[in-house]
């Protein structure tokens, strides 16, 4: 089979974040599709199956990202999800996926805190795609 470009779904309400990550992912050899919120992402997911999703937490609702993760996990358990959030820096609420309890309810494979470096995001995407194969 010809090597197809992996498809990344980027979901964030910050247009600039979407633009900047999209440009870099495309140059790194990915197909990218973007959504500005949970609702838009759900529409996309209704007829496309990205290889990996990168999801912000606080969008149209403060927990929109968490809800989206749950839906992805339920409908497409094989799709890896990376949560990207500024919850820590913005609210001072310190949370991560180090505890069993948090891993239990946060339905994501990786949680990254904003600001993120692109190389870090790329590293996680590569790793998750390798595991998937």
Binding site for other proteins (CB under 8 A): 13-17, 19-20, 23-24, 27, 36-37, 40, 60, 90, 115
Shortest Å, Cβ 16 to other proteins:
4
Are 10 and 18 a contacting pair, CB within 8 Å? yes
Cα distance between residue 86 and residue 33, in whole Å = 22
Look up residue 36 and give its DSSP letter.
Answer: S
Cβ closest to other proteins, residue 90 vs residue 126: 90
Cβ closest to other proteins, residue 38 vs residue 83: 38
Cα distance between residue 96 and residue 113, in whole Å = 9
Query: 78 CB contacts (<8 Å, ≥6 apart)?
Result: 132
| 105 to 59, 100, 114: CA distances (angstroms) | 19, 9, 21
Shortest Å, Cβ 51 to other proteins:
23
Shortest Å, Cβ 20 to other proteins:
5
Cβ closest to other proteins, residue 99 vs residue 115: 115
Shortest Å, Cβ 22 to other proteins:
11
């Amino acid at each position: 089979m010809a090597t197809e470009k992996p498809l990344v779904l980027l979901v964030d309400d910050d247009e600039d974040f979407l633009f900047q990550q999209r440009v870099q992912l495309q140059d790194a050899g990915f197909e990218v599709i973007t959504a500005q919120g949970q609702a838009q992402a759900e529409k996309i997911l209704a007829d496309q199956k990205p290889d990996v999703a990168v999801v912000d937490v606080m969008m149209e609702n403060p927990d929109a990202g968490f809800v989206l993760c749950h839906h992805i996990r339920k409908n497409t358990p094989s799709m890896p999800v990376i949560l990207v959030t500024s919850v820590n820096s913005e609210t001072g609420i310190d949370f991560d996926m180090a505890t069993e309890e948090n891993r239990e309810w946060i339905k994501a494979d990786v949680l990254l805190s904003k600001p993120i470096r692109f190389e870090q995001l790329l590293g996680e995407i590569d790793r998750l795609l390798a595991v998937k194969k």
